[in-house]
Amino acid sequence: MTRIAILGSTGSIGTSALDVARTHADRIEVVAIAAATNVAAMAKQVLEFRPRAVGMATGDAMDKLRAVLGGSPAAICGVGSDGLIEMATHPDVDVVLCASSGTAALDAVLAAIEAGKTIALANKEVLVMAGGIVMDAARRKGVAVLPVDSEHNAIHQCLHGREAGEWRRLILTASGGPFRGRSRDQLASVTAAEALKHPTWQMGPKITIDSATLMNKGLEVIEAHWLFGAPAARIAVVVHPQSIVHSMVELKDGSIIAQMGMTDMRLPIQYAFAYPDRWDAPVPFLDLTRVGPLEFHEPAWDDFPCLRLAYRALEAPPHDAETASRGPRIQRSLPIVLNAANEVAVSSFLEGRLAFTSIPLVIEQAMAAHAPEPAATLAEVRRVDAWARLHAAQSARELESSLQ
């Protein structure tokens, strides 16, 4: 049995993971689950899977869960960030799926690594903020970090069994989001409701907006940098509207290995739970005769500047051949600023207080005001994160007032 903990069990990734566990009940045991404040969904999960440990974001949510269930939901009940750590380090857990959004899961992931747990990572912020710290800890403890994002999971599959010297580039595919083909002028008036209509994936609000701005792909570039030891110049992005090819690896002889499949997050989740084995999947197989033409385009860098900002955060432009032979360097601060400012700007946009095209302006202003520095400790990461959030909030207020 693979014994799992799910951080973020009521979100889209968490519910997909539980569906995988449901399908493979003879192979997967759900030991611990944690959620934010969705008491109704959590109560159903507790009744079905009977976990040994349950975490909620607040004490109020935990009290409501107890009331709904008529008693304690599990032998261990954790609250807040400490609760996440309790779930992630439970002695009976083998694999921790980090599916909670935002930066709250960073401590839990590091604690799980120290406890020797395999990490199935679906949280972008963990590596964007602290990729060097996380991957160094994983190497020191001999812990596997298995990507659950469909793009990085595809690259992991393409690289499986290959030496580092065999490949030349990692190629991340992007759907292009709901506004593919629109000019920057046309984007100025789009609403949050329009931006939340992703053409391919059903996701949470924040990641859906990131997909619309292409920041999601920018964050994935930074993730790939840390996961696979790739400098920015060896990570490419292509727009692939059909989302059939999830990502590719270009080998040094020019051959390209691609991973293709249905657009269903249960596939990469199951891959992480089963690795290094393969299991039958609870999804339809891909029928290539029905797929139709597959398109690949250069990203619209000028219309969607968030992607270029992410490359800049790695302190290397997208096509800098001089850095192509370098691997990941020491954890630096600009990705922290990028991530924090983006979270503030997206929140302001979703609340209707900021224009869609102002999201990259808030991020760029925070990056321009910040002097890059090493961020090799969690204290340094948090200090930079707090500064960037304050700066971004002020920038967002100024841009908001200028539009009124």
pLDDT tens profile 9-54: 999 899 999 999 999 999 999 999 999 999 999 999 999 999 999 9
Q: Is the pLDDT of residue 315 over 90?
A: no
Domain boundary among 327, 346, 381: 327
Could you tell me if residue 273 is inside a domain?
Answer: no
CATH code, 344? 1.10.1740.10
CB 250 within 8 A of CB 234: no
Return the percentage of the chain with pLDDT > 70, whole number. 94
* Range 64-73 average pLDDT: 96
- pTM confidence score: 0.91
Q: Is the pLDDT of residue 373 over 80?
A: yes
- Clarify whether residues 207 and 320 are in a common domain: yes
Could you tell me if residue 54 is inside a domain?
Answer: yes
* H-only helix segments in 196-285: 205-213, 215-228, 266-274
Domain that holds residue 347: 330-404
Domain boundary among 124, 148, 172: 148
* Range 266-293 average pLDDT: 93
Could you tell me if residue 386 is inside a domain?
Answer: yes
The Cβ of residue 278 has, within 10 Å, a number of other Cβ atoms equal to 9
CA–CA dist 240, 238 (Å, integer): 6
Biggest CA–CA distance in the chain, Å, is 63
Predicted confidence at residue 317, as pLDDT, reads 42
- Clarify whether residues 316 and 210 are in a common domain: yes
Predicted confidence at residue 331, as pLDDT, reads 79
Could you tell me if residue 274 is inside a domain?
Answer: no
Which residues are bridge partners to 174 per DSSP? 239
Q: Is the pLDDT of residue 339 over 60?
A: yes
- Clarify whether residues 346 and 319 are in a common domain: no
Amino acid at site 303: D
CA–CA dist 82, 249 (Å, integer): 39
- Clarify whether residues 362 and 384 are in a common domain: yes
Structure tokens at 352: 């209707």
Could you tell me if residue 135 is inside a domain?
Answer: yes
Q: Is the pLDDT of residue 323 over 50?
A: no
- Clarify whether residues 251 and 211 are in a common domain: yes
- Clarify whether residues 349 and 293 are in a common domain: no
CA–CA dist 71, 116 (Å, integer): 32
Tell me whether the omega of the peptide bond preceding residue 276 falls within 30 degrees of 0, making it cis: yes
Domain boundary among 269, 297, 327: 327
DSSP characters over 16-49: HHHHHHHHTTTTEEEEEEE-SS-HHHHHHHHHHH
CATH code, 109? 3.40.50.720
* Range 377-384 average pLDDT: 93
- Clarify whether residues 18 and 124 are in a common domain: yes
- Clarify whether residues 72 and 201 are in a common domain: no
Model confidence at 316, pLDDT cuts 50, 70, 90, reads very low
Amino acid at site 122: A
pLDDT digits (tens, 9 = 90+) for 234-248: 999 999 999 999 999
Could you tell me if residue 73 is inside a domain?
Answer: yes
CA–CA dist 301, 199 (Å, integer): 20
Predicted confidence at residue 201, as pLDDT, reads 63
Query: Nearest-CA neighbor of 254 among 171, 358, 152?
Result: 171
pLDDT digits (tens, 9 = 90+) for 123-150: 888 999 999 999 999 999 999 999 999 9
- Clarify whether residues 139 and 21 are in a common domain: yes
Total structural domains within the chain: 3
Model confidence at 329, pLDDT cuts 50, 70, 90, reads low
- As a whole number, the mean pLDDT across the chain is 92
- Clarify whether residues 183 and 308 are in a common domain: yes
- Clarify whether residues 77 and 109 are in a common domain: yes
3-state SS, residue 205: helix
Beta strands at 95-98 and 2-7: parallel, antiparallel or unpaired = parallel
The Cβ of residue 92 has, within 10 Å, a number of other Cβ atoms equal to 11
Looking at 204-218, 250-264, 343-357, which range is the least confident one? 204-218
pLDDT digits (tens, 9 = 90+) for 111-127: 999 999 999 999 888 99
Could you tell me if residue 212 is inside a domain?
Answer: yes
* H-only helix segments in 38-105: 39-49, 59-69, 80-88
Predicted confidence at residue 404, as pLDDT, reads 52
Q: Is the pLDDT of residue 102 over 80?
A: no
**51 vs 183, more confident:** 51
Could you tell me if residue 300 is inside a domain?
Answer: yes
Tell me whether the omega of the peptide bond preceding residue 199 falls within 30 degrees of 0, making it cis: no
- Clarify whether residues 9 and 50 are in a common domain: yes
CA–CA dist 139, 31 (Å, integer): 25
